[in-house]
Amino acid sequence: MPFQIICNDITKIECDAIVNAANKSLLGGGGVDGAIHRAAGRELLEECKTLGGCETGDAKITKGYKLPSKYIIHTVGPVWHGGRFGEEQLLRSCYRRSFELALQYNCESIAFPLISAGVYGYPKQEAFEIALEETKEFLKDNEMQVFIVVFDKNAFEFDSFLHDNVSSYIEDNYTGKDASKNSDKFAASFKRLYDLPSAVSRYDSGVQFDSECRVMASYAPSVSFCISTNNKIRDLIVLDDAFAVKLLKLIDAKGMTDVECYKKANVSRQTWYKIMNDKEYKPSKATVLCFAIALELNLRETNLLLKSAGYALSDSILFDVIIEYFISNGDYDIFVINETLFEFDQPCLGVLL
């Protein structure tokens, strides 16, 4: 199932279980604990009184009461004392124990706050990375929709090295809404996208730009087809198979299994079955990109796959430019990609399919 990183109040999330960053007494407190108890109502406290508390790193489950979620999983994160007192292992244990209870209670979806990243003082970036790593590990062998709920995005310092690289790539390539003002940028990036020899002028390739410097779609295919398709992967992409058939051939060519592919694409099993069984299925652009990432297609192959479904990457779409950054750099980790998309206020890949 896809994981999503979202900015929201966890008490508003409609899913089978939300996780509470509680304290050992389980009798309520401030932060997310206070918000959950206020939203769930008094009955929650009454049930919590029967649980006998909870050890750090462990988790216990109650009903959700007035919350939209069926259950609340209360876990107690470690207080940060500098990192030399087993805090990391205890924090990881909070996620693992919460996932165990969610499985035990047949939950199909779960929402986590950033445990220990508030009052308990765990460094936010590390707390965030641990949440993603434990989610990634869990989803390797399990199917569950996971929400990582960030309450205060401004409190984040994302990975500065990656942030700087993506930011400068955006600066160099994103044409934003004023595409016409960036015609040279747009022309240069069009060549990059279709891998045209740099010597080709913006007209030699048979490509013309309208006044708004938008590529005349009818030209793009001819340009892409003028590129030799002597690559086995590219040959599979340009066939006019249905998307599902194309996917299966590419998975086979890449030596992957179906499950490996759709999990790496951050796509749910249900969506995979829909793609494989709905004769009328037409993939969204985001779906095509998920699988381009999962199949580790290069930029040219990605554009061919997009074009075969009637889409193209666009430099005037920030989401596309960020995806292009990762494909150009051969970085296909969808967790890192989604963390970066979240940072730039873009939807995660693997949702809204």
The residue among 69 and 268 lying less far from ligand APR, judged by its C-beta, is: 69
**Cβ-contact 335, 154 below 8 angstroms:** no
φ, ψ at 63 (rounded to 5°): -70, 165
Give residues 98-117 in contact with ligand APR (rule: CB under 6 A): 113-117
Window 66-95: contact mask with ligand APR (x via CB under 6 A): -----------x------------------
Spell out, one character per residue from 126 to 155, where the chain touches ligand APR: x when CB under 6 A holds, - when not: -----------------------x-xx---
| Phi, psi angles (nearest 5°) of residue 89 | -65, -35
Q: Which is nearer to ligand APR, 15 or 238 (CB)?
A: 15
Which stretch, 40-48, 118-126, 247-255, 337-345, contacts ligand APR (CB under 6 A)? 118-126
From 33-41, 47-55, 267-275, 332-340, give the range in contact with ligand APR by CB under 6 A.
Answer: 33-41
CA distance 344 to 200: 33
**Which of 119, 226, 244, 286 touches ligand APR by CB under 6 A?**
119
Q: Which of the 8 DSSP states describes residue 347?
A: P
Distance (Å, rounded) from C-alpha 93 to C-alpha 88? Answer: 9
Stretch that binds ligand APR, among 25-33, 169-177, 187-195, 281-289 (CB under 6 A): 25-33
Q: Does 35 bind ligand APR (CB under 6 A)?
A: yes
Collapsing DSSP to helix, strand or coil, 113 comes out as coil
**Which of 17/32 has CB closer to ligand APR?**
32
> Quick one: CA dihedral 306, 329, 234, 200, positive or negative?
positive
Letter for the amino acid at 238?
Answer: V
Select 46 or 152, whichever has its Cβ closest to ligand APR: 152
- The residue (of 77 and 283) whose beta carbon lies closer to ligand APR is 77
**Contact pick of 3, 15, 17, 23 for ligand APR (by CB under 6 A):** 23
* Among positions 2, 118, 283, 350, the unique one binding ligand APR when judged by CB under 6 A: 118
CA distance 12 to 93: 25
Output the smallest distance, CB 170 to ligand APR, in A. Answer: 27
Q: Determine the Cα angle at 261 with ends 257 and 264, to 5°.
A: 135
Q: 120, 190, 243, 272: which one contacts ligand APR (CB under 6 A)?
A: 120
The radius of gyration of the chain's CA atoms, rounded to the nearest angstrom, is 23
Per-residue DSSP letter, 215? B
CB of 8 or CB of 160, closer to ligand APR: 8
Q: How many residues bind ligand APR (CB under 6 A)?
A: 25
Long-range contacts of 33-42 (CB under 8 A, 24+ apart): 35/9, 35/10, 35/11, 36/10, 36/11, 36/67, 36/72, 38/11, 39/11, 39/66, 39/67, 40/11, 40/64, 40/65, 40/66, 40/67, 40/72, 41/65, 41/66
The Cβ of residue 133 has, within 10 Å, a number of other Cβ atoms equal to 13
Among 11, 62, 189, 338, indicate the residue that binds ligand APR (CB under 6 A). 11
32 part of the interface to ligand APR, by CB under 6 A: yes
Q: Which of 1, 5, 22, 313 binds ligand APR (CB under 6 A)?
A: 22
- Which residues are near ligand APR by CB under 6 A? 9-11, 21-23, 29-35, 77, 113-120, 149, 151-152
